[in-house]
A and B are shown apart, each in its own frame.
Chain A
Amino acid sequence: MDLKKYEKLAALNLSEEEEKRISKDLTDIINYFEVLKEVNTDNIEPLVYTKGAKLFMRKDEKQKSLDKELLKKNRELFNSNFYRVKKIIGD
């Protein structure tokens, strides 16, 4: 397993030591999954939603939005109410 690739996809960057530790665990765990190969799943539909699941739809009606003071409790806003992040592409 190319751990680096999945770290990148998951926006993680593990230290070498952590990589070593996790790498072994992951290999063991993924090997453990192999047992599923012995199950015949031909013509079996995957199950994602359990019994009784039924989508319902809400009316197109406005609801109160969050007060910005509540947003500010968790992050400073800039330039009249924008979230701010460092630019996307590094040097």
Chain B
Amino acid sequence: MDILNKTAEEVASIARSGEVSVKEIAEQMINAIKQKDSKIKAFIHIDFDAVIKRAEELDTKKDKSGVLFGVPIAIKDNMNMKNTETTAGSKILSGYTSPYDATVVEKLKNAGALIVGKTNMDEFAMGSSTENSAFFNTHNPVNPEYVPGGSSGGSAAAVKANEVIASLGSDTGGSIREPAAFCGVTGLKPTYGRVSRYGLIAFASSLDQIGPFGKTVKDTAIMLNAIAGFDPRDETSVQTEKEDFTALIGKNIKGKKIGVIKEVQDFKLQEEVKNSFNDTVKALQNAGAVVEEVSIPHLKYALPVYYIIAPAEASANLARFDGVRYGLRVEGKDLKETYEKTRTEGFGTEVKRRILIGTFTLSAGYYDAYYLKASKVRRLISNDFEKAFSKVDALVLPTTSTTAFKLGSITNPLQMYMNDIFTIPISLAGLPAISIPTGTDKKGLPIGMQLVGKWFAEKELLQIAYTVEQELGGKNGI
């Protein structure tokens, strides 16, 4: 049986029934990866022998009840997995062997998942195209001349290319949603605090959140069931009651209020994106939802706020890479020179750029004008959303203003940052959001729409997203 085209839900049930062994599933996946990945280059680290061994172990397990039993899953390379190489796409960590498992890795294992390997990413998750990986570029499976988006480009591409059934990415300012849109898969960024960050290599701690990529909305819900929950090892994970995120899937959304953001109209959208947005709104209305306009007055300040706060946090988060205990070390004549050589050679240009911005905005004399100011405007943005959510149940807006661009076509950093203009405001507020494929442009490149839920209302968000997926499904061949 060909399992490559199946959903996580289907594969788990096949594996559970014993109809196909996990080993056979693993072998099919490995063949697919061997066949396709030389072109797509979604994976950084993959150990086929280890995958087969893990599959055999799963086959001997008596308890096959895990929600992801036997499902091949890839994880972004910024998540620690014990005794495997974890590099976060950076030369400074090449050869680093992690001595521990991230909480999400533990949880995937507990859910019976078959973790296949580590996917490529922009170095330390800083980027929107995966071109900032220190190792190589990942190609968009839809058209290899185009970027897969980023920073979780490898995880999105691996799902799109049917190299795995689902995957994990991390999203700081759009790093799950933007590649999901570019590759034409579904990507969910949970509410900040929903999924433990323990073991996720930090980029910007107050924004980073792990989330799933899947072929369907329901698969991302199943994935979220496996990885969500309070973790006593992460002080920013939030104590909430256990929920089944698939619970409302399939329930009708009659009477739900959906907001469209007035200020989004101020931004120029690619024509097909605009059309697809209108299709999505119609689909929501067809399903009985009431669409109304809301205002996020501070929306346009989100990008500068983000590019102050995220690099500031990153400048501290990346200070531990000093060559003393692990990773790259380039000896100089003394310690200071060793630090400088290690870090200058170990980090790529974009990472250095952001470390320097962050160092500057936190420095004496500039802190108030930049970091503090940005943190205050962040409050205003969050307040705007709070107000909007007093009127509506969810928001809908494009994930990106354009479809994927060609590899190497954007070299100006500011222009690159503009890709995340619609995802960043949501990250700053810590809200949950999902990007689902809603169409393609003239070149056949996927278009993604973003649905945003209230804080910790993933269940309702997934319910609405599922409805849109069903309404548009036939048309987009999903």
Contacts and interface: CB of A to CB of B under 8 A. Distances in A.
Contacts of A89: 334-335
For chain B, which range describes its interface: under 10, 10 to 19, 20 to 34, or 35 or more residues? 35 or more
A80 interface: no
Contacts of A73: 97, 99
B456 interface: yes
A77 B97 CA distance: 16
Interface in B198-239: 206, 232, 235-236, 238-239
A29 B412 CA distance: 11
B327 interface: yes
B36 interface: no
Given A11-B343, A36-B377, A21 B349 contact: yes
Contact of B370 (A11, A26, A33): A33
B292 interface: no
Contacts of B343: 10-12
A37 B332 CA distance: 43
B378 A51 contact: no
Interface in B75-127: 96-97, 99-100
Given A41-B373, A46-B376, A83-B324, A10 B304 contact: no
B355 A91 contact: no
B430 interface: yes
A5 B322 CA distance: 18
A7 B356 contact: yes
B206 A26 contact: no
A18 interface: yes
Nearest to B326: A74
A45 B376 contact: yes
B166 interface: no
Contact of A11 (B333, B334, B339): B339
A67 to B, nearest CB: 8
Contacts of B337: 90
B329 to A, nearest CB: 8
B385 to A, nearest CB: 10
A12 B304 contact: no
B301 interface: yes
Contact of B430 (A14, A37, A51, A58): A51
A16 B193 CA distance: 42
Interface size class of A (residues with CB under 8 A): 35 or more
Nearest to A67: B99
Contacts of B374: 33, 36
Nearest to B303: A32
A41 B325 contact: no
B305 interface: yes
Interface string B343-384: 110010100110111011101000000101111111110100
B407 interface: no
B349 A22 contact: yes
Contacts of B361: 33
A12 to B, nearest CB: 5
Nearest to B238: A52
Contacts of A54: 238-239
Contact of A51 (B324, B413, B455): B455
B380 A86 contact: no
A87 interface: yes
B429 interface: yes
B274 interface: no
Nearest to B358: A10
A56 interface: yes
Nearest 4 A/B pairs, CB to CB: A50-B430, A90-B334, A46-B375, A70-B99
5 contacts: A14-B352, A39-B298, A48-B206, A55-B235, A86-B332
